[in-house]
């Protein structure tokens, strides 16, 4: 028998009928959850953190959670489209910093989404100078700015990498109004671009991280690639929880020497500026609040059991669980502080 057009159409409509939809619903998180993250890299810190949390959550709740590294704009879009709880998001401070710096594609996450529990901190955000730099400390850098010397700082603008730079400018402003103009940004991209900017002598100070730059600080004298830490932005309470051995040739005590209070970048003349890169959940604003409670409870159990902390510390993350309500209050405060810093230096 030969199939003609009519039999084909009949077959197609039969197939369409057979696959007619039926609804599926359940309380709480669906059985299959997609966790989107604000990074496109599956080798980066956001992915690692999210994977650790996703694994623990799916085990605790008995559901499937897939982590998808779609990047911030796509992640927010996916989150927006789905209020059933089958899409949730994990990201870090970039989510509101991008908004504060006015980057295109960043809405205010506090207004447009629901901020959920925090899970961990990456304490690594740092600033470095070449090993043979005349600047020994942040004090030297801020004094240089005061004396009218131009200090070029390589950053990736519009977020986590810029906030420490804004804080430097703000500290310069507090110490000697007007001197903040001598601290200028060199806008680059990835970590390799920032390092390269230092080696090409386009920058005097670069933004980096303990994880990516520590080995450069251990190079022998005379190596052109050698660097020195001048500032680690994390709170001392955060760094204090890092493994005592620290990382590579830099112990925890060495790190604490570059962080507040020993290394001071002032916020307002009395308090120091600090920045911890915190990872937290974001939810669709119309999602059932019961799901947030469910995640809070599950995370509380997971953190009480204690295995996740070991896993996080292995990858140099600091465990940092705050349930949704506390997390929202804490992050809102943090955002407001940074908003003030950014407006304070914006006039100039």
Partner 1 sequence: MNDLTKVSIDFEQSHLVFPRLIAVVLAILLIAIIIRDHKRILNALPYWKGVFQNMDKMRFLGALGVTLLYFSLMVPVGNIWPNTGSGFLICSIPFVLIIGLLFMHERPMRSVISLSIVSVVGPVSVWWLFTYPFFLTLP
Partner 2 sequence: MFEFISPLFLSLIVGGTMVGIIFGSIPGMTATMAVAVCLPLTYSLGLENGLALLLGLYVGGISGGLVPAILLGIPGTPSSITTTLDGHPMAQRGEGERALKIGIVASLAGGLISLLVLYLFAPALADFAIKFSYVEKFLIIFFALTVMAALSSDMLMGIFSGFLGIFIALIGSYDISDGGNGKYRLIPPGTEYWLDGGFSLLPVLIGLFGLAAILDQAELGVPKGHSANDVKVTKANKFSLSVFRGQKTNVVRSSLIGTFVGILPGVGGSAASILSYTNAKTFSKNPENFGKGEPAGIIASESGNNGLTGGALVPLLSLGIPGDSTTALLIGAFTLQGIQVGPLFIGNSPETWNAMIIAMLIANIAMFIMMYFAIRYFAKIVTVPKHLLFPIILMMCVIGAYTINYGIMFDVWTLLIFGIFGWVATKLRLEIAPFIIGFILGPSAEVYFVKSLESFGDLTIFVTKSWIAVVLWLLIIGSIAGSVMISRKSKTRA
Residues that bind partner 2 (CB under 8 A): 34, 40-45, 47-48, 51, 68-71, 73-74, 77-78, 103-105, 156-159, 186-193, 195-196, 199-200, 202, 211-216, 218-219, 223-225, 247-248, 314-316
Closest C-alpha to 261, from 246, 273, 252: 273
Instruction: Give CA–CA dist 108/98, Å, rounded.
Output: 9
C-alpha dihedral sign at 73, 60, 239, 248: negative
**For the chain, how far is it from start to end, CA to CA, in angstroms?**
82
Q: Which does 152 bind (CB under 5 to 8 A by kind): partner 1, partner 2, none?
A: none
Shorter beta-carbon distance to partner 1: residue 12 or 329 = 12
> By three-state DSSP, how is residue 42 classified?
coil
With a CB cutoff of 8 Å and minimum separation 6, the contacts of 40 are 69, 70, 71
Q: Which residues are near partner 1 by CB under 8 A?
A: 1-3, 8, 12, 15-16, 19, 21-24, 30, 32-34, 64, 66, 68, 82, 84, 86-87, 157, 187
Which partner, partner 1, partner 2, none, binds residue 112 by CB below 5 to 8 Å per kind? none
Binding partner of residue 158 among partner 2, partner 1, none, CB cut-off 5 to 8 Å per kind = partner 2
Name the minimum Å distance from CB 86 to partner 1. 4
Residue 341 contact partner, candidates partner 1, partner 2, none, CB within 5 to 8 A by sort of partner: none
d(CA 281, CA 92): 8
Q: Which does 175 bind (CB under 5 to 8 A by kind): partner 2, partner 1, none?
A: none
The residue with tokens 């509101």 is 96
> Of 32 and 190, which has the nearer Cβ to partner 1?
32
Closer CB to partner 1, 69 or 119, in the complex: 69
* Residue 173, C-beta contacts closer than 8 angstroms, at least 6 positions apart: 179, 180, 344, 345, 348
Beta-strand runs (E) in 188-287: 205-209, 227-232, 277-283
Smallest separation, CB 115 to partner 1 (Å): 23
Closer to partner 2 by Cβ: residue 13 or 192: 192
Least Å from the CB of residue 156 to partner 1: 12
**CA of 72: how far to CAs of 92, 98, 109, in Å?**
10, 10, 12
Bridge partners of 281, per DSSP, are: 90
Place of tokens 């962080």: 259
Residue 84 vs 235, nearer CB to partner 1 = 84
Closer to partner 1 at the Cβ: 23 or 245? 23
């Amino acid at each position: 028998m030969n199939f003609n057009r009519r039999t084909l159409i009949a077959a197609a409509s039969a197939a369409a009928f057979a696959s007619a939809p039926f609804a599926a619903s359940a309380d709480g998180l669906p059985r299959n959850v997609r966790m989107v993250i604000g990074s496109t890299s599956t080798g980066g810190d956001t992915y690692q953190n999210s994977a650790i949390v996703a694994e623990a959550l799916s085990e605790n709740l008995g559901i499937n959670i897939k982590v998808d590294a779609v990047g911030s704009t796509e992640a927010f879009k996916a989150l927006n489209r789905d209020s059933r709880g089958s899409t949730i998001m994990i990201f870090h401070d970039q989510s509101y910093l991008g908004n504060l710096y006015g980057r295109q594609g960043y809405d205010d996450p506090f207004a447009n989404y629901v901020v959920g529990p925090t899970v961990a901190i990456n304490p690594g955000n740092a600033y470095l100078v070449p090993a043979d730099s005349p600047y020994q400390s942040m004090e030297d850098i801020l004094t240089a700015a005061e004396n009218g010397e131009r200090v070029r700082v390589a950053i990736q603008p519009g977020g986590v990498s810029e906030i420490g730079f804004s804080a430097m400018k703000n500290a310069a402003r507090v110490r000697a109004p007007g001197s903040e103009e001598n601290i200028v940004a060199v806008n680059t991209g990835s970590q390799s671009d920032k390092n390269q900017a230092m080696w090409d002598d386009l920058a005097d100070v670069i933004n980096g991280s303990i994880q990516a730059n520590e080995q450069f600080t251990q190079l022998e004298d005379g190596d052109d690639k050698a660097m020195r830490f001048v500032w680690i932005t994390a709170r001392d309470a955060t760094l204090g929880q890092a493994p005592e051995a620290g990382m590579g040739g830099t112990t925890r005590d060495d790190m604490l020497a570059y962080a507040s209070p020993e290394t001071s970048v002032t916020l307002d003349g009395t308090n120091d500026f600090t920045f911890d890169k915190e990872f937290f959940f974001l939810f669709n604003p119309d999602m059932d609040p019961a799901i947030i409670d469910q995640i809070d409870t599950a995370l509380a159990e997971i953190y009480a059991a204690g295995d996740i902390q070991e896993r996080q510390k292995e990858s140099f993350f600091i465990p940092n669980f705050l349930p949704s309500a506390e997390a929202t209050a804490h992050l809102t405060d943090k955002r407001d502080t940074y908003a003030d810093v950014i407006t304070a230096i914006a006039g100039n």
